[in-house]
Structure 1
Amino acid sequence: MISGILAYRNIQNSILNGVKIPHSTSQPLIFGENGKYYLAVFVFFFSREDIEKGLVERPTMWAVADIETGKIIEIRQTKNKEFSDASYKIKYNVRADAQYDTSKKYYEKAFAILDSCRNEIINTDRFNPEEYKHYLDMIVANIPKEYQRFYFDLSV
């Protein structure tokens, strides 16, 4: 199993096949489908105006990746395979609503929790919801309130 940080970097580097479009990729999440667990991320696109206003569209793309290697299995468009019931008719506030801890140490701790969850799934085929909740709580603590919903919608 590669580290969650490395898996995330691999996903980020391959999600758009090198196309340079302003976008952001969510932190990796554990996603369940057909009785199996995967890593998943969502992507949202934005313009300079969106960032200046602090309002962005909801995610329109997401990817499912191997939980052990982080290799992308499938890239999905929400118009074909939805993960959220959030509206496409509004933009979501992404202005910082708190002082966030974005330090390397903070994310290393969060990813250590994710890696522990992944390791348990890989080695015992068991998912620990309490431990994963701790990871998810740490990740969404650094996400503006309106955008947190997409993390919860995509997660197991």
Structure 2
Amino acid sequence: MAYPQHTTARAPASEPRKTNTGGLSPQREKRVKQLILERLGDSLEVTELAQACALSRSHFSRAFKCSTGLSPQEWIRQQRVALAKQLIQYTDMSLTQISLECGFCDQAHFCHIFTRSEGINPFAWRCQFVRGTALNGKRSLPSPTPTDMHTTV
């Protein structure tokens, strides 16, 4: 029995990729990320972020996820964990102070989110970091500047 042979047309490799549509404009994305980073220690509502972009809450959430690959809440969590890691590494602040500085409601919530993100609790993470720096002969660490702590855009 003979089978019909199908051929498929393939686009040339040099053809430019189609950009995703439906995301935030670069200006809106930059504005909302800057707003989040400036207020990382505060309570942030998606409604506030949407208003800053002059969009409805649902449209903003979809557009943000399309632009970043993450929901606004998940992106904020990632930024808070990144800031917490820097504070753990470069300061002697307690985990309670760090949790509040990074915008978590309490230390238990901070520990839960950090452990879910990093696979290890923040105290153990700090111990690993201190042990690693002691083994490498590093005694004192420079204090980060505010811009260093907020450059994970």
Same fold? TM cut 0.5: no
Higher helix share: 2
Higher strand share: 1
Taking CA–CA contacts closer than 8 Å with sequence separation of 6 or more, which of the two structures ends up with the larger relative contact order? 1
Q: Which TM-score band (shorter chain)?
A: under 0.3
When normalised by structure 1's length, the TM-score is: 0.21
